Amino acid sequence: MPTDTVQLLGAGGHARVVIDALLCCGWPVQRITPRDDRAELAGTLMLGCRIETPVLDQLPPHGQVHAAIGDNAARQRLLEASGIAADHWLVVCHPAAVLAASARIDAGSFFAAQSVTGPNASIGRSVIVNHGAVVDHDCQVGHFSHIAPRASLGGGARVGQGVLVGAGAVILPGVTIGDRAVVGAGAVVLADVAPGITVTGVPARPTNKGIA
């Protein structure tokens, strides 16, 4: 049973997923503290864990922390503002996730139930590999990116920093997605995507309409 305490930055929907994974890993509710800036949540319970406010108030300087927020930029902002060194950013992995023994995992990342991370894959800091997502062999996923539920990265795909790969999207093997790009839900990406571009559709093409 874990004897540490973890501070979760955020108390929204994704925090529930993270708390559930921690509970499934044997963490007691008394050692999980969700934190949020919404004053009305102070003292309320999320899956049995007491919420504290505000999110960055009196954080233990040497405790474990995990950014439990789906938004990439918000995760990065809060972790950097926390002042807690990356070696205290907790990696959370649901027992029903599959991680290859040769996969390289950086600080603070999250692996939801039924996700698969393949051999020689490289996962950056504070990455979310969400429910049922597949990061196949030799893929690279940059810091603060989010691979949404049921998204799939083919072998050797490269995803930059701060990227959102939407639910059910497919990135073909060897394709590169540039930093801060967005791949819309259900898109099939056949060719490289430039940094900062949003693509949607089958096959995926640049769009100004946002995520489908």
pLDDT tens-place string over residues 81-104: 998 999 999 999 999 999 999 999
pLDDT at 169 over 90: yes
Q: Under 8 Å CB-to-CB from 76, ≥6 apart: which residues?
A: 67, 126, 143, 144, 162
pLDDT at 209 over 60: no
Q: What percent of the chain has pLDDT over 90?
A: 91
CATH number of 91-203: 2.160.10.10
Higher pLDDT, 160 or 61: 160
Q: Which of 52-61, 117-126, 165-174 has the lowest mean pLDDT?
A: 52-61
End-to-end CA distance of the chain: 42
CATH number of 6-88: 3.40.50.20
Task: Using only the alpha carbons of the chain, give its radius of gyration.
Answer: 17
The ranges assigned to domains in the chain are 6-88, 91-203
